């Protein structure tokens, strides 16, 4: 297995020589921290400051990534894959980031968050078509994902009733980001699978370098580059928020890549959904937004979907261990013929002892 053969590290911490639960805990902790900070910063910049420059902010974030990767000591000499491997990956990565951030100009953060959380279902479906993966999932996992999606939709509809910042344009943008996300995780897992020597830093570095030039055409065509430059020049402290957000997101990104390499794209999508639910609740608590019964129903269905995803993983092992223990401890009752043979054998043994 690639996960056992390839040494994995997370910011200098070895993951390969640790049990699965420790790997999961370390990666999830880094992921939760990075994206919780990211969510709060995005809510502040987009909804409080009314800055809606998704492509430009993604562009700035990319340069922060490259600087942090340089500090980690990564160089192109450590690459094990050709540059062309990352062209398709970079296109969907930058497109997803740009559309996700840009959609916040038309959706409030919780609504956008809920739409993005539904990506677990398209990720599972797309995994069956990605070369190098061809994954197939049992029916109960699709039911789990469907419960999750329905719960998120209910939450989004409730949010549309209580928050005014909700429009069709935002839904179209975040839906495009969802389609790209369905390719993104599976493409990353396919690269890790086909070449286990690939490191998280290489994937993040190459996808960023290849992806940054792809952001320039949409910025020029929409005029966002000049508007964003002018707005940020008038409010330079926004760059401080963006750099801080990018540093936190960098930790989250590396942790996500570690999760994909160790546990796969679909499992990682479920973990990211749990993070989004936590971020959502924090958004409502910090920015004092009203919660309704529809919100509670949606969150309940989300919990049911995640529980259904986790429970079947333990049941087969319980059934096997129970059946095996029964075979070891219990013996079948002897048949009538066997009982007669045993009695005759006992009588012969007694006769031989008497003689």
How many angstroms from the chain centroid is the CA of residue 312? 19
Instruction: Quote the percentage of the chain above a pLDDT of 70.
Output: 69
Could you tell me the CA-to-CA distances from 58 to 152, 294, 308, 333 in Å, in that order?
A: 26, 33, 35, 72
Is pTM, for the whole model, over 0.75? no
Answer yes or no: is pLDDT of 48 > 70: no
For residues 18 and 47, which has the higher predicted lDDT (pLDDT)? 18
Question: What is the tens place of the pLDDT at every residue in 97-114?
Answer: 778 877 777 777 667 766
Count of residues making up the chain: 355
CA–CA dist 54, 211 (Å, integer)? 14
Reading the block at residue 100, the tokens are 């996700």
Average pLDDT of the segment spanning 3-14: 71
Could you tell me the CA-to-CA distances from 339 to 75, 328, 343, 344, 351 in Å, in that order?
A: 77, 22, 6, 9, 19
Question: What is the tens place of the pLDDT at every residue in 181-240?
Answer: 888 888 888 888 888 888 889 989 998 898 888 888 888 888 888 888 888 888 888 888
Answer yes or no: is pLDDT of 280 > 70: no
Average pLDDT of the segment spanning 163-192: 80
Reading the block at residue 264, the tokens are 């796969």
> Which of 114, 247, 130 has the alpha carbon at shortest distance from 174?
114
For the beta carbon of residue 267, count every other beta carbon within 10 angstroms: 21
Question: What is the tens place of the pLDDT at every residue in 61-82?
Answer: 889 999 999 998 888 888 888 8
Q: In the prediction, which pLDDT does 39 show?
A: 74
- For the chain, how many helices (H) and strands (E)? 15, 2
DSSP string, 225-275: HHHHHHHHHH-THHHHHHHHHHHHHHHHHHHHHHHHHHH-HHHHHHHHHHH
Answer yes or no: is pLDDT of 251 > 70: yes
> Which of 58, 150, 178, 167 has the alpha carbon at shortest distance from 108?
167
Which three-class secondary structure state does DSSP give residue 114? helix
Q: In the prediction, which pLDDT does 66 show?
A: 93
Residue 234, Ramachandran bin (φ over 0: left; ψ between -120 and 50: alpha; else beta): alpha
Max mean pLDDT among 26-30, 290-294, 337-341 falls in 26-30
**Whether the Cβ atoms of residue 49 and residue 104 lie closer than 8 Å to each other:** no
CA–CA dist 99, 116 (Å, integer)? 11
């Amino acid at each position: 297995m690639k996960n056992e053969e390839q040494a994995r590290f997370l910011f200098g911490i070895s993951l390969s020589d640790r049990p699965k639960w420790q790997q999961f805990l370390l990666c999830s902790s880094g992921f939760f921290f990075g994206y919780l900070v990211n969510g709060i910063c995005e809510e502040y910049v987009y909804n409080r400051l009314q800055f809606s420059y998704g492509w430009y902010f993604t562009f700035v974030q990319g340069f922060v990534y490259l600087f942090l990767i340089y500090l980690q000591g990564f160089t192109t000499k450590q690459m094990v894959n050709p540059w062309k491997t990352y062209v398709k990956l970079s296109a969907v990565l930058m497109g997803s980031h740009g559309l996700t951030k840009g959609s916040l100009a038309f959706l409030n953060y919780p609504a956008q968050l809920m739409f993005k959380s539904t990506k677990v279902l398209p990720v599972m479906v797309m995994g069956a078509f990605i070369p190098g993966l061809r994954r197939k999932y049992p029916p109960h996992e699709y039911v789990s994902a469907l419960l999750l999606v329905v719960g998120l939709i209910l939450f989004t509809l409730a949010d549309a009733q209580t928050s005014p910042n909700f429009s069709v344009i935002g839904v179209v943008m975040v839906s495009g980001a969802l389609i790209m996300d369905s390719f993104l995780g599976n493409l990353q897992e396919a690269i890790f699978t086909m070449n286990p020597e690939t490191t998280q830093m290489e994937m993040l570095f190459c996808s960023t370098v290849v992806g940054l030039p792809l952001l320039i055409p949409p910025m020029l065509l929409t005029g966002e580059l000049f508007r964003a430059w002018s707005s940020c020049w008038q409010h330079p402290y926004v760059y401080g928020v963006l750099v801080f957000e990018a540093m936190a997101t960098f930790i989250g990104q590396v942790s996500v890549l570690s999760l994909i390499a160790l546990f796969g794209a679909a499992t990682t999508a479920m973990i990211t959904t749990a993070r989004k639910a936590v971020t959502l609740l924090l958004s409502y608590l910090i920015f004092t937004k009203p919660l309704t019964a529809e919100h509670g129903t949606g969150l309940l269905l989300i919990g049911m979907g995640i529980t259904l995803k986790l429970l079947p993983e333990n049941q087969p092992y319980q059934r096997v261990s129970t059946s095996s223990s029964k075979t070891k401890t219990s013996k079948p009752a002897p048949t009538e013929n066997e009982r007669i043979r045993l009695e005759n054998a006992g009588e012969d043994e007694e006769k031989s002892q008497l003689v």
